[in-house]
Structure 1
């Protein structure tokens, strides 16, 4: 069974202006296995779906993340288009996990990410479980060889669990750390009650930098900004990954592991803007949306707005 599928145009619907006033009017759906990627003059954004929940299942999480990519697309579609006229926006399709073969899907995903980066597209991946991070990092690494790629993760969890035979949504950064000497990792929003002592010990072993959720707030903006700036200064490139379960369940109820004590959109957006405007961000993803538990698509809408602002900040450079 084919693990890749082109997105159908009917996913992208909304008001019609015939003037590209809305994002659904600007996007092109491309089969990146059969069609040539469009060239662009200034900036190109690509969406790639990762419809995989095998890693969440292995990590004993709530099932439902596989349906997330298309839901996020539907929430992005009607948003107003304020991108530059010559900015290119494509939907590069979706990777599906067949027969529980997570490792094969991660390899395929890495290939697609590398292909898009090679064609000078800024990737925004729509997950799926956080096991996507292992595939995403490896796809970036294939293009940016012999450089230091810093990972910034907005998340309640370190995801540094030691794999039991196979990886899962809780192991990606441990896997990356073990395979890369230049491991640089910053976590924003870590919750002490959601990470056991072994995970904190592992984080210290790998020199992981982190800010706890109790300090990752708008009142502490200056310190957060300094930590992010210092981290970015220490690396060549940045990969941004946003786990929606890091947000308070007041904003993000539809996730695999909800938390009432998560962070708020204001500090997240301030941090994302800073990261985007560093000129070092090369790729991003949003993971762990679980539409089965969402309320009026509010978590999916949050994901869509984060995508919107990432594109806005990147295109303003």
Structure 2
């Protein structure tokens, strides 16, 4: 490790996180690939990881939720998501790396987001599919900062941001928060002479003011309301995802767990009175992952202090599991 906190490799440097990773543990049914679970395949040393290996990064932050006047506790989300994912059984062998956590413990949200970005960029450039374990939804802007510095985007690849969320998170507040990340992205893209390619699935009308809808329309945001995402409307959902995937080369998939109904995801800052059914959200995650376009997936708003029977953690872990196992499955012939 160099004096500036980077771990060097033959390919590129990996920037160290604030908090070193700890070992993953879970149920063990014996040796062999047919007994593999996630905790068996997650390593902690970047020097042992190769291109294509999954990379996990935690983002321990409540600061954005605090600024947005939400219920705090999401800083413990990464720990709970790792715990829920660790014992999930793998359908086929994979390799994974945990690089540790970015921690926002001093109110410096902006610094934490930039540190997350600096960790993500070399991971994506090395060919790692990255999952960021949040943390409040302010994590999404840190993810964007990481992607914006990648080789692919610098060379002209088209970025598409798909947010599974009850909220637009386009608030125009004085200070960045969990309610502002996608407006921050749009403003950053505008400074670079581009328009943010931003799509949202699961928007709750009662949870978003008329001003937020007007902001979304002004920015050219494409969205489906939660009432348009039921199982009878799956054809509409599929058409929405197909059009989104056609619009981009690199995907930033952001999953705010409050998109799910409160019965499925009680442990979030703002539980959904209606929400999008788990079957639909998982179907969307699988369709996006099958495109092989996602570079980073972040999962936000899990608050273990509010979670009943670990339901929200298990739902989030299952979505991560579906994204990663679908992405690593052999491609189907056209």
TM-score, normalised to structure 1, is: 0.93
C-alpha distance in 2 between matches for 1:24 and 1:3? 20
Q: CA RMSD in A?
A: 1.4
Q: Residue 23 of structure 1: which of 24, 31, 38 is its match? A: 38
Q: Provide the C-alpha distance between the structure 2 equivalents of 1:119 and 1:206, rounded to a whole number of angstroms.
A: 32
- 1:240-289: per-residue Cα shift (whole Å, max 9, x none)? 00000110001000001111211111111111111111232221011000
Distance 2:267 2:105 in 1: 24
* 1:156–1:245 contact (8 Å) kept in structure 2: yes
Q: Which moved more, 1:248-257 or 1:280-289?
A: 280-289
Q: Does 1:184 align with 2:193?
A: no
Number of residues paired by the alignment? 306
Give the Cα–Cα distance (whole angstroms) in 2 for the partners of residues 18 and 163 of structure 1. Answer: 53
1:231 is displaced (CA, Å) by 1.7
Give, in whole Å, the separation in 1 of the partners of 2:250 and 2:140: 15
Aligned partner of 2:173 among 143, 158, 163? 163
**Structure 2 residue corresponding to 1:133, chosen from 140, 148, 151:** 140
Matches within 5 A, 1:1-317: 4-9=18-23, 11-20=24-33, 21-30=36-45, 36=47, 38-40=49-51, 43-84=52-93, 87-143=94-150, 144-145=153-154, 146-164=156-174, 166-180=175-189, 181-316=194-329, 317=331
**Higher alpha-carbon deviation: 104-113 or 276-285:** 276-285
What is the CA-CA distance between 1:222 and the residue it aligns to? 0.7
**Separation in structure 1 between the aligned mates of residue 310 and residue 304 of structure 2, nearest angstrom:** 7
Q: Distance in 2 between matches of 1:279 and 1:6?
A: 29
Gapped regions of structure 2 (runs ≥ 5): 1-15
Q: Report deviation, 1:3.
A: 6.7
Distance in 2 separating the partners of 1:147 and 1:77: 34
Q: Report deviation, 1:55.
A: 0.4
Q: Distance in 2 between matches of 1:82 and 1:258?
A: 32
Asked if 2 retains the 8 angstrom alpha-carbon contact of 1:3 and 1:105, the reply is: no
1:132, 1:46 → 2: CA distance?
16
Tell me how far 1:37 sits from its aligned partner.
Answer: 5.3
Q: Where does the alignment leave 5 or more consecutive residues of structure 1 unmatched? A: none
Q: Note if contact 1:148-1:182 (Cα within 8 Å) is conserved in structure 2.
A: no
Distance 1:185 1:160 in 2: 11
Distance 1:18 1:12 in 2: 15
Looking at structure 1, the residues matched to 17 and 240 of structure 2 have their Cα atoms a distance apart, in angstroms, of 39
Query: Matched residues in 2 for 1:246 and 1:314: separation?
Result: 22
The answer to whether the Cα contact below 8 Å between 2:159 and 2:250 also exists between their aligned partners in 1 is yes
1:189 deviates by: 0.4
Please, which moves more after superposition, 21-30 or 149-158? 21-30
Output the TM-score relative to the length of structure 2: 0.88
CA offset digits 1:158-197 (Å, max 9, x no partner): 0000121x20000000011011023111100000000001
